[in-house]
């Protein structure tokens, strides 16, 4: 029995009563641990097909056009995985990111649902904190993130039972895995098909399939988020140094990049 077949069997064996309980109890921790044990050696292709079989049409894919995201977009296209692809336009992204979105829409005919910040909410924080509030203080930065990213993300995931993410083990410090309970969004399932890939594997896939990628990586960026809050990395800097570098406390203790990795990632 393949590991995927075993994971399907375990999924189907979930107690039905649990599924109708409180949002936070859609999944239990032991169920998630079991799924992660079963799927940790599965190929991303198998994980995506498992996700489609179990969650489509309530399966979504959050695509911010990072290197990981374009790999997943390409994989899903190759496999014909049915999922709503959505993109959060914070309004402050790099031109390179917008160019890449257009490339995928025009050349590859991808349907991409775009979510933007709530107009009133955005006007409110801009009036209160100024148009560049991120550098003012941590609270102003978090309010900006809430209005431009978190609230639209919650709207985008409304109605979903599961969503696909490009999260990789290299970039998280908390224990996650191929699947995780997304407690921020009602306890739905977050699925990370390339969780165990390293940067080299991601780049190898992009090169092998010659897929368009975000040119910010060629400039040394490790993260392709908002323009005011992300900068290129230099040798010896951690991935965290490239984002919100003016804040003292970092939310994540992310890996330090060696020079070769800076050039590979960037
Ligand atoms: Fe605002 Fe920066 Fe957060 Fe983007 S990353 S939403 S610009 S604070």
Tell the residue nearest (CA) to atom 7 of ligand 1.
226
pLDDT value, residue 79: 96
- The Cα–Cα gap between 86 and 223 comes to 18
Please, is 20 exposed, middle or buried when counting C-beta atoms within 10 Å of its C-beta (0-12, 13-18, 19+)? exposed
Q: Which atom of ligand 1 is nearest to the CA of 134?
A: 8
Q: pLDDT means per 10 residues in the chain (266 residues)? A: 40 36 68 93 96 96 97 96 97 97 91 96 95 92 96 97 95 83 93 96 97 96 94 90 83 42 30
pLDDT value, residue 7: 42
pLDDT value, residue 239: 86
Give the residue, out of 93, 226, 227, 231, with the most ligand 1 atoms within 8 A of its beta carbon, to mutate for a pocket test: 226
pLDDT value, residue 9: 40
Quote the tokens at residue 105: 């829409």
pLDDT value, residue 21: 41
* Contact predicate 167/195, CB 8 Å: yes
pLDDT value, residue 25: 66
Distance 142 CA to ligand 1 centre (A): 8
> Quick one: CA dihedral 108, 109, 111, 117, positive or negative?
positive
- 124 to 24, 115, 135, 229, 252: CA distances (angstroms): 31, 18, 17, 20, 29
Distance 2 CA to ligand 1 centre (A): 43
Decide the pairing of beta strands 113-115 and 59-62.
Answer: unpaired
Q: Which atom of ligand 1 is nearest to the CA of 133?
A: 8
pTM: 0.85
* Contact predicate 168/197, CB 8 Å: yes
pLDDT value, residue 171: 83
Quote the tokens at residue 79: 């496999």
């Amino acid at each position: 029995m393949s590991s995927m077949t075993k994971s399907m069997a375990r999924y189907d064996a979930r107690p039905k009563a649990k599924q109708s309980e409180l949002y936070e109890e859609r999944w239990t921790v032991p169920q998630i641990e079991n799924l992660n044990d079963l799927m940790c050696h599965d190929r991303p292709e198998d994980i995506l097909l498992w996700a489609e079989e179990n969650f489509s049409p309530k399966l979504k894919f959050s695509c911010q056009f990072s290197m990981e995201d374009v790999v997943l977009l390409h994989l899903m296209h190759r496999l014909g995985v049915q999922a709503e692809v959505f993109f959060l336009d914070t309004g402050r992204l790099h031109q390179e990111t917008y160019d890449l979105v257009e490339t995928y829409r025009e050349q590859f005919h991808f349907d991409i649902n775009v979510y933007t910040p709530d107009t009133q909410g955005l006007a409110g924080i801009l009036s209160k904190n100024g148009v560049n509030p991120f550098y003012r203080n941590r609270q102003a930065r978090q309010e900006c993130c809430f209005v431009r990213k978190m609230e639209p993300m919650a709207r985008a995931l409304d109605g979903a039972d599961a969503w696909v993410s490009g999260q990789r083990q290299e970039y998280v410090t908390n224990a996650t895995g191929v699947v995780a309970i997304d407690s921020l969004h009602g306890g739905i399932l977050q699925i990370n098909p390339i969780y165990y890939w390293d940067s080299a594997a991601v780049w190898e896939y992009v090169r092998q399939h010659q897929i368009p990628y975000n040119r910010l990586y060629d400039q040394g960026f490790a993260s392709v988020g908002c323009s005011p809050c992300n900068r290129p990395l230099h040798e010896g800097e951690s991935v965290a140094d490239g984002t919100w570098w003016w804040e003292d406390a970092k939310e994540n203790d992310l890996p330090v990049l060696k020079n070769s990795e800076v050039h590979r990632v960037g």
